[in-house]
């Protein structure tokens, strides 16, 4: 997918994305489109400001030979690789034998609003499912599955990208405007700010939503793959900025 596909006017972007209408104040009015675009741009810049400069809570570049004691592997195989350069090092996740998805959980839990940043490359052919979890609890299996927010790039056979709330996954905010490519490096930045959720890829807003019945704002973080092989690197978890 070329980046130009995301270069659309903000008002059109909100209409095209699966943005929950109950978000209220964040919806762009149909009247006075220029004023609406200016107001939308102001709000978007305020969100971007919160995604920068907050206190770092956890970070890992995975540039080493052993995974280390900060992580819990649930299903599948997770292997770090030491290599020079932004695209070389990382942790490669692959699906497990019992379940189609695999989680790499932080041992630590995080409470309050959270910003997530990382680089990712999907090595599967065809490409699909660069995933991660916030507000979760390890382990997720055996069933019944646990509450969590699951973000996914290129999910559903690389047809949808967005966020959904487990364990029933009835609340979700998805868009078909963004798909992923095998071997391409993506910079992912996501956040939970109260009941609102944001997902940026390569500095472009991909989806946003407000959950009318949000989960408690705490839990473990996880990288996740679903029948896919993905290399993650340069992970940072931080508090939002002012």
Contact 43, 71 (CB under 8 A): no
Distance CA 176, CA 174 (A): 7
Q: Exposed, middle or buried, 211 (CB in 10 Å: 0-12/13-18/19+)?
A: buried
Which residues are bridge partners to 81 per DSSP? 90
Per-residue confidence in pLDDT tens, the chain, 242 aa: 222 233 233 333 443 333 333 333 444 445 566 667 788 788 888 888 888 889 999 999 999 888 999 999 998 889 998 765 445 678 998 877 778 889 999 999 999 999 999 999 999 999 999 999 999 999 988 888 899 999 999 999 999 999 999 999 999 999 999 999 999 999 999 999 999 999 999 999 999 999 999 999 999 999 999 999 999 999 999 999 98
Nearest to 62 by CA among 236, 181, 239, 238: 236
Residue 88 has what pLDDT? 61
Indicate the SS3 state at residue 33: helix
Distance from first CA to last CA of the chain, Å, rounded? Answer: 34
Give residues with Cβ within 8 angstroms of 69, minimum separation 6: 107
Q: Could you tell me the residue ranges of all domains in the chain?
A: 3-238
Class of the CATH domain delimited by 3-238: mainly beta
């Amino acid at each position: 997918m070329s980046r130009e596909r995301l270069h659309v006017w903000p008002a059109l972007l909100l209409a095209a994305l699966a943005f929950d209408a109950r978000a209220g104040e964040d919806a762009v009015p149909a009247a006075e489109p220029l004023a609406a675009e200016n107001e939308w741009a102001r709000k978007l810049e305020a969100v971007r400001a919160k995604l920068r400069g907050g206190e770092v809570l956890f970070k890992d570049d995975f540039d080493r030979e052993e995974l280390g004691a900060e992580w819990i592997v649930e299903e599948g195989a997770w292997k770090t690789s030491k290599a020079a350069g932004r695209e070389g090092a990382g942790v490669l996740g692959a699906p497990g034998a019992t379940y189609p998805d695999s989680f790499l959980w932080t041992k630590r839990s995080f409470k309050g609003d959270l910003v997530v940043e990382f680089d990712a490359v999907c090595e599967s052919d065809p490409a699909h499912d660069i995933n991660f979890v916030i507000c979760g609890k390890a382990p997720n299996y055996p069933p019944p599955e646990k509450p969590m927010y699951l973000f996914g790039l290129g999910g559903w056979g690389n047809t949808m990208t967005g966020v959904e709330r487990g364990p029933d996954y009835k609340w979700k905010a998805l868009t078909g405007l963004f798909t992923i490519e095998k071997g391409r490096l993506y910079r992912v930045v996501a956040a939970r700010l109260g009941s609102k959720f944001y997902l940026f890829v390569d500095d472009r807003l991909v989806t946003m939503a407000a959950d009318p019945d949000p989960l408690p704002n705490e839990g473990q973080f996880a990288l996740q793959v679903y029948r896919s092989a993905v290399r993650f690197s340069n992970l940072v978890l931080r508090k939002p900025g002012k």
